[in-house]
Structure 1
Amino acid sequence: GTITTEKRGVDRPKLPYDLIFQPEGYNETFAEMSDDQKNSLSHRGKAFQQMRQFIEAELKLLTAKN
């Protein structure tokens, strides 16, 4: 991604860089995106989805054994 020259979007005090970070291939900064859209692109969002898939798979295995 790139760093914009102007702050754009909704200011979230704990996420100041969202105002100036524009992911590659997008015209919006993270602060201009919905939470779902941002999470689909961010490393934390991707890690959370992988963890969720792992836990769901493990739960299916555990319930299938019982």
Structure 2
Amino acid sequence: MNKKAVILLSGGLDSTTCLAIVKNQGFDISALTVNYGQRHVFELESAKKVAQIFDVNKHSVVDIDLAQFGGSA
């Protein structure tokens, strides 16, 4: 049985480190990135690049409108 994991991937150092650890442990990885209208689009691009570098099984980007919850900080 293959071990599977879902990583919440922002493209930053913390989530990239988590992804690397899980990958090194032999997990089949799917990554989930949340597009909440970040001020810096490079965060989404970084997440896409990290997913490619680590050859994740599937990388999904989910769009969320934070205005419904009061907006982003």
The reply to whether TM is greater than 0.5 is: no
Normalised by the length of structure 1, the TM-score is 0.25
Q: Flag the structure with more relative contact order, 1 or 2, with Cα contacts below 8 A and sequence separation at least 6.
A: 2
Normalised by the length of structure 2, the TM-score is 0.23
Which protein has the bigger helix share? 1
Which protein has the bigger strand share? 2
Larger Rg: 1
